[in-house]
Structure 1
Amino acid sequence: MESIKESVKNMPGFNKFQEKYELMKQQVLTDPNVMRFLRENPDISDVQAEKLLSNFYTYRNEQLACSNCPGLENCPNLMKGYRSELTKVRQTVELRYKPCELKMIDDQKKSMSSLIKSYFIPKEILDARFERLYNPNMDEARSIAIQKAYEFVQTAGAGQKSKGIYFYGKFGVGKTYLLGAIANGLAEKGIHSLMIHTPEFLREMKQSLSDGSFDSKMKLLKTVPVLMLDDIGAENMTNWVRDEILGVILQYRMMERLPTLYTSNCDYDMLQQHLSFSQKGGLDEVKALRIMERIKHSSHAVFMGGSKNFREDF
């Protein structure tokens, strides 16, 4: 009776298969990286090397793919974004995997992104960087505002509780983008921040009363290490928003000395007037003053200048 080995040899196409196999084996075993590994491990015999051909083949192909890297998204390796390495383990050879440079950069970006939470903030703002803000021809007020923002990032988490900043200025000078740059600067230091577009978020807070998420959102705003309230003063002011949302959040953060940053088209006086609005008619100046005292106590007012509309660059 014919053995299985002999039967395989007699199968149609076996000779071509054998030729391809021998060619592949030669290519693999003469690969510079594989040859270097075998030289470093002289106890691996030729017979053993052939038995380990599958691992050597995978290693060679992945090294070739890495040398002509098509980018992380199109990585053809068995584990996307990982480089294989040959490792001698007792009497055999195993493939071990380590992340490549692109994978590590991508992981770092994702890690940073996880440190930045946002509500109703455009994507380009979340990609903001301080380098994008500097301009040799910018006016002094704008330069000072950027410097104050940069100093805030540098001192954040340095063991001392720092005050927040109230950035104010006309529409379109880059106040929101500046908050985005701060958020990314904090993320590089491993500090969590939450950035919200205040008018839109306050509208959502009203809806959250019915979907059961109000308490969790309030807790997040009160306790996040750095809170950023973008465009405060542009919301539709109601007694409930002022007293039960802003008042409660800012009181907690002031007592816990957690920094809050703001952007607004209003200076302190204009914001106080806005907060004085009462649905019952007239002005509720006492309650507005109470909110303003919390803001003033825990932040520095910084004017952000600029003669052109910063949004034109996007």
Structure 2
Amino acid sequence: MSNEDMEKENATLLTEFIFMGLIYQRQWPILLFLVFLVIYLTTMVGNLGLIALIWNDPQFHIPMYLFLGSLAFVDAWISSTVTPKMLVNFLSKSKMISVSECMIQLFSFSFSATTECFLLAIMAYDRYVAICKPLLYPVIVTNELCTRLLVSSFVAGALHAFIHIAALFRLTFCNSNIIYHFYCDIMPLFKISCIDPSINVLMVFIFSGSIQVFTILTVLFSYTLVLFTIFKKKSVQDLRKAFSTCGAHLLSVSLYFGSLLFMYVRPASAQADDQDMMDSLFYTVIIPLLNPIIYTLRNKKVLDSLAKIFKRNVSSC
């Protein structure tokens, strides 16, 4: 039997992967479980609460808040893709995941991460039109355009995920079934492939890199024009309002794209596995937690609506 035949035979026996998990996971499993459980619950309450607020209040039924609600949905999705399995593994001895479950998790993560990139770019374009062309805003950013942009973002996210999942079927995993990560990400899978993954790595660099470059350039171009418009304003109140609206989005964009670029658009050997996990932890767990806080605290309409709901609940008690 040739070596290639042996590799294929071994690969067919592989039905599950084992996660190595986070640093210090074995020393402090209970503490890490409690910390990430609180983070996950807070993330879900924040994002789903924001969606409910936008859904129930007619004043938020405009493109800006529909985009924000979609971002909250994607943040809740990406957090739910990664965190529940990680919580189970904190308390489990096996830390295993089947190959099919791994592919589903990878697809779900790739779909939500890609969709978020496009949503952040769309939100930047929305702010550009609102601030630079306020009189034309209702004509340009219509509900029809809003729907098309949102549908396109989700379809693009699904297609991007399908491409990488389909490309994975050319690989076999017979060198090892140990994934040095806390969820099924594509780069750690390449490291345990017994077939050269160079083509797959190139595809990740081309497709993921192109998406990130396109969306980042859209954000930079939009906000460059926004800043020029802001500095032309003579009213201090207008300046504060514009900076308040754009500041939250710029912070969110910087955190998200910065961590993604650091993780994927770089040489594969530039960082250790532990550092890769810390980068991944940031944009799969921390950013979905921060986004609803960032957008809520910097948005007077949202705060006023929350205050009204709180007062109404208190008075009804």
TM normalised by structure 1 equals: 0.21
Structure with the higher strand share, 1 or 2: 1
Task: Choose between structure 1 and 2: higher helix proportion.
Answer: 2
Larger Rg: 1
Give the TM-score normalised by the residue count of structure 2: 0.21
